[in-house]
Structure 1
Amino acid sequence: MEFKMKEVGFFTETANGRLNISGDEQHGFRPYQLLVSSIAVCSGGVLRTILGKMRLNYEDISISADVQRNEAEANKVERIHLHFKITGTDLDENKIHKAMELTKKNCSMVQSVIGSIEVEETFEIVK
């Protein structure tokens, strides 16, 4: 990837279009938002794959992310709590729990930040 400077922040061109990145939310995504998004969406994608392989029928997955930052240390991200709402019928809670364990183990973004950022993943089944 190549990043080019603009008046406020940077940008990169991707196959999906231009991605604007800036410390000022009015001019692009903030870097911490991209970090959290990468971790959340990677986990969600891995979870989808695992649920499919387990032949668990689900209709939807939504993810909320609660981020804890440390202002005293450059506002670094210290903790991310991802909460998955999995919508479906006849979903076995024990199988979903196993799928969540496999998700954390197989998400490259989560594995990349282990030891630096605490990542907690919880779920609820919505019928």
Structure 2
Amino acid sequence: MDVKVKHIKGMHFQAEGNSKTLTHLDTSTVAGGSGMGASPMEMVLMATAGCSGMDVVSILGKMRLKYTRFEITVHGDRAEEHPRVFTDVELVYKFWGEELPQDKLERAVTLSLNKYCSVANMIDKAANLTYRIEVNPG
């Protein structure tokens, strides 16, 4: 796997991987950026949720479990001193639907986090990675 990251201006960079999809990285205006993209640390949290989310969708599909909506929110706490790595990361898996079996949701999430999601497994080596599942009606 290879990626190319090109400097645009200030703290704004454009990244391109094998998929040829362009992604913008930047930092907030408060931190000297122009706000034209997500920060690298935001991207790490997004990648964790995206990786695990793809696994969960695939696993629930194989279980023939139907839901009406699925979202993941992620909160990361960072060290006070440099390097400001994540110390704690919590994923909240939010499902909407009728009669969603908690055991199947739990199985899909734990398979993702413990076996399939490479990003979550890397994060878990550096930070305390935890999760919660929320089930909402309809």
Contact 1:61/1:85 (CA < 8 Å) preserved in 2? yes
3-state DSSP of counterpart to 1:26:
coil
The structure with the greater share of residues assigned to helix is 1
Counterpart for residue 20 of structure 1: 24
Q: Matched residues in 2 for 1:31 and 1:91: separation?
A: 35
Normalised by the size of structure 1, how large is the TM-score?
Answer: 0.88
3-state DSSP of counterpart to 2:81:
helix
Name stretches of at least 5 consecutive residues in structure 2 with no aligned partner: 28-32
Counterpart for residue 71 of structure 1: 80
Letter in 2 for 1:7: K
Residue 104 (str. 1) matches residue 127 (str. 2): no
Percent identical? 24
Letter in 2 for 1:38: A
Q: Matched residues in 2 for 1:8 and 1:28: separation?
A: 12
Contact 1:8/1:27 (CA < 8 Å) preserved in 2? no
Contact 1:69/1:76 (CA < 8 Å) preserved in 2? yes
Q: Matched residues in 2 for 1:40 and 1:94: separation?
A: 20
- CA 1:117–1:108 in structure 2 vs 1: closer, same or farther (change >3 Å)? same
Deviation at 1:89, TM superposition (A): 1.1
Counterpart for residue 124 of structure 2: 114
Number of residues of Structure 1 aligned to a counterpart in Structure 2: 126
Normalised by the size of structure 2, how large is the TM-score?
Answer: 0.82
Residue 4 (str. 1) matches residue 6 (str. 2): yes
3-state DSSP of counterpart to 2:99:
coil
Contact 2:77/2:87 (CA < 8 Å) preserved in 1? yes
